Amino acid sequence: MPHRPCSLLAVLCLVLLPLAGVAASLPLIPRPARVDLHEGRFVLARVTPLRSAGDDAAARAAAQFLRDALEAVDGPRVQLGPGRAGPAIEFVSDPAAPAAAEAYTLDIDAQRVRIAAREPAGLVHGAATLFQLLTRSAQVTDLPALHIEDAPRFAWRGLMLDSVRHMQSPDEIRALIDQMALAKLNVLHWHLSDDQGWRVEIKRHPELTRIGAWRTPPGAGRDGEPSRYGGWYTQEQIRALVAHAAARGITIVPEIDMPGHAQAAVAAYPELGVTGTRPAVSVDWGVNPWLFNVDEATFGFIEGVLDELMALFPSRYIHVGGDEAIKDQWQAAPAVQARMRELGLTSENALQGWFIGRLGRYLDAHGRKLIGWDEILEGDNLPAGATVMSWRGSDGAIKAALTGHDVVMAPAPTLYFDHVQSALDDEYSGRLGVEALRGIYAFEPVPGVLGAAQVRHVLGVQANVWTEHLPSHAHVEHAVFPRLAALAEVAWSSAAARDWADFATRLPAQLARYRRAGVHVADGAFAVAIDTDRNLALATGRATVRLSNQSGVGTLRYTLDGSEPRADSLPYLAPLVLSLPAHVRANAFAADGVALAAPRERRLDRQSLLSLPGSALPNCPGSDFRLRVQPTPDATSTQPVYAVNVFDTCQQLPPTRLDGVTAIRVEAARLERKYALAHEQRLVVSRAHATPFGELEIHADRCDGTLLASLPLPDPAHSPRRFPLTSALPALSGERSLCFIYTAPIDGPLYGIGRVDLVPGP
């Protein structure tokens, strides 16, 4: 069927076709390489037939994918099968389709919708585009006539999921895979072993899961804490997930982390380690010291694990970790040192290089390729075919590409989705700082310094979802969405096609799709922040209120009468000057009037202006490291969250007008101190304390300023995790800062501040 050119608005079409405007009118993410809009439309039936040739298994799989995706959002109804003659959606494996890897075409006219591709993955991508057209608004009854020709910029479009620190159920992983496929991502890098657990069933080494899959958290069995945490994926579950992913054009690349991050394996089989002792499976996040041994027996064991892994995962790439292997144990072990001498190696880094090189040769001999974190470059013994995953900025990628290795760009912090999405008080747990949607969108995977010969080594781009602070699937989804949409466009669309303003116009439809699919999408990029100069308001009784949202997407609207903001509420045009008390509620709305976030609110009166969440209290000078953590018993909820610096539990109240304040109340929380800081442990600040469990000290102005209060902390064994600490304050006037220091011993719990309330006198 020839494509009929736009006739009615021919001139306009010609002008607009190559420009952002046409594609922008279709809310497709990632943006296709080429969209030609034609005149006319395809009208959906009550149940539109989906057709594929009887012997075309790839076409049928793509059609099923489309049907399932539509069903999950209660979208237009479609039915697989031969159907009657007449208008239908057709999937065709077509050797005449464009030759680029994963390419597809989508043609729509009044009679039919046709998706064609040479490869099965192309058909899936075509189905994903059609899904987006069929869900471009709440009720879709037709499709615009068009021709789309599309192919990805990068071959590796990945997401890494850490199922060790916290596990996800197979169904939860399936849901993630489905969303990846709809975003045209094609690699799920699955982090399956680490210090805190071993998550893949290995039949010849059952202790790996019987022992290595379980950890006993501090306080196990008490205070709502399970007696142990863990589990593993059976080989049957893994095969089913691999097949589910494959039917959606996604390869699962498994990772077994070596030679470091080996504590769970050594807990299962102490002979795999070098000390001869059996550690517990770790409960500490961070860098633990346990390394694999380098003797022949250990390699025999690892090769057996790789054999089972290769049988489970058809992926060409096998990820062997390589990151953060501090070498203390190898340095201290005479047998390891002797082995180094025997091999003629002069450093432990060289030994790691030899270790990784050996794994690479084993994988190579079995027709697979090694990929590892960028530390695998350190030993200068990387096998020629090895691929480097660059996580410590882009230096690793540059070095790798210059030495002829392929690279995948996954740099921290930008593409570390365990970093929080917003600075809002109600943000979930995660690492700080904020890695905003817009920053992800702006990420350019190809380092500018690479020349043409090296650029071809950049296979693609990946975001990593580490789960230390993401205990539930709701946390994982909150971290992943909507940033996945930005990643998808970075990974798929050409650099020239990337345009934030245009992306922003396509985003509301994508948010609606996530919500219809039941995805727990974060709204921190759109939610309205309600800010005021507290001290000015306290001094004058009038607040100048500024509304903003992080992404700049949507129209901000507000109410002052306590009612929920709606699409016809007052638009925010300029700062609001309000007499106290006031109650501001606000939200951001898309052009079609749909709310982009949950409404946020702020009450403005003397009491609330003197009340600050702990997250609004910056660290004391000296260390800017900070996490947002949730006490473990709240893992099925997402709040409360405490912003803490695990190196130094010291925070400062920003200067606040304290006239008339006579007392202070601090909501304190006892958190687990479960951080393996390796060589950075010496940076943890230890302070003298006068009572058995330490105190909360409150100092005036600076941390070495006058001590205003020293409030003993209660006995952890006989007090709830959250407790108030109150004290009278001497009269202070003007804008003053306060410094809060926990002096608790550093081998005990960590303390956080939930909220500080300054209490005015009568």
Q: Which residues are catalytic?
A: 194, 261, 324
Give the HSE-up count for residue 223: Cα atoms under 13 Å, Cβ half-sphere.
19
Residue with tokens 């494509």: 3
Distance, in Å, from the CA atom of 282 to the CA atom of 262, rounded to the nearest integer, reads 10
Distance, in Å, from the CA atom of 347 to the CA atom of 379, rounded to the nearest integer, reads 9
Nearer to ligand ACM (CB atom), residue 64 or residue 414: 414
Nearer to ligand ACM (CB atom), residue 391 or residue 441: 391
Least Cα distance to 398 among 445, 441, 462 occurs for 445
Distance, in Å, from the CA atom of 732 to the CA atom of 186, rounded to the nearest integer, reads 60
Nearer to ligand ACM (CB atom), residue 391 or residue 514: 391
Nearer to ligand ACM (CB atom), residue 56 or residue 255: 255
Q: Interaction with ligand ACM in 358-377: which residues (CB under 6 A)?
A: 373
Q: What are the DSSP E strand ranges found in 569-660?
A: 570-571, 576-579, 582-589, 600-604, 611-613, 627-629, 642-644, 650-657
Is residue 391 a contact point for ligand ACM (CB under 6 A)? yes
Nearest-approach distance from CB 326 to ligand ACM, in angstroms: 12
Nearer to ligand ACM (CB atom), residue 376 or residue 588: 376
C-alpha distances in Å from residue 232, one per residue of 59, 207, 319 = 34, 12, 18
Pairing of strands 555-559, 570-571: antiparallel
| CB burial of residue 535 (10 Å; 0-12, 13-18, 19+) | middle
Per-residue binding letters, 709-738, with ligand ACM (x by CB under 6 A)? ------------------------------
Residue with tokens 């945490």: 229
Of the residues 255, 284, 323, 406, which one makes contact with ligand ACM according to CB under 6 A: 323
Nearest-approach distance from CB 543 to ligand ACM, in angstroms: 43
Interhelix angle for 170-182 vs 235-246, to 10°?
10
Q: Interaction with ligand ACM in 82-101: which residues (CB under 6 A)?
A: none
Name the closest residue to ligand ACM (Cβ). 323
Is residue 675 a contact point for ligand ACM (CB under 6 A)? no
Nearer to ligand ACM (CB atom), residue 373 or residue 642: 373
Q: Which helix (H) or strand (E) holds 180?
A: helix 170-182
Q: From its phi and psi, is residue 352 left (phi > 0), alpha (psi between -120 and 50) or beta?
A: alpha
Nearest-approach distance from CB 336 to ligand ACM, in angstroms: 23
Distance, in Å, from the CA atom of 383 to the CA atom of 361, rounded to the nearest integer, reads 7
Distance, in Å, from the CA atom of 663 to the CA atom of 643, rounded to the nearest integer, reads 23
Is residue 255 a contact point for ligand ACM (CB under 6 A)? no
Distance, in Å, from the CA atom of 24 to the CA atom of 32, rounded to the nearest integer, reads 10
Which value, in Å, is the radius of gyration of the alpha carbons in the chain? 28
Nearest-approach distance from CB 463 to ligand ACM, in angstroms: 12
Maximum alpha-carbon separation in the chain: 86
Nearest-approach distance from CB 389 to ligand ACM, in angstroms: 8
The amino acid that residue 616 corresponds to is: A
Q: What spatial distance separates the first Cα and last Cα of the chain, rounded to whole Å?
A: 82
Nearer to ligand ACM (CB atom), residue 298 or residue 462: 462
Is residue 324 a contact point for ligand ACM (CB under 6 A)? yes
| CB burial of residue 593 (10 Å; 0-12, 13-18, 19+) | exposed
- Number of residues counted as binding ligand ACM (CB under 6 A): 4
Nearer to ligand ACM (CB atom), residue 214 or residue 373: 373
Order of all β-strands in the sheet with 707-712: 650-657, 735-742, 695-700, 707-712
Nearer to ligand ACM (CB atom), residue 225 or residue 323: 323
C-alpha distances in Å from residue 455, one per residue of 377, 401, 448, 460 = 18, 7, 9, 10
β-partners of residue 149 are 34, 105
Nearest-approach distance from CB 174 to ligand ACM, in angstroms: 25
Is residue 194 a contact point for ligand ACM (CB under 6 A)? no
Nearest-approach distance from CB 588 to ligand ACM, in angstroms: 33
Nearest-approach distance from CB 111 to ligand ACM, in angstroms: 51
Distance, in Å, from the CA atom of 438 to the CA atom of 67, rounded to the nearest integer, reads 32
Nearest-approach distance from CB 375 to ligand ACM, in angstroms: 8
Residues that bind ligand ACM (CB under 6 A): 323-324, 373, 391
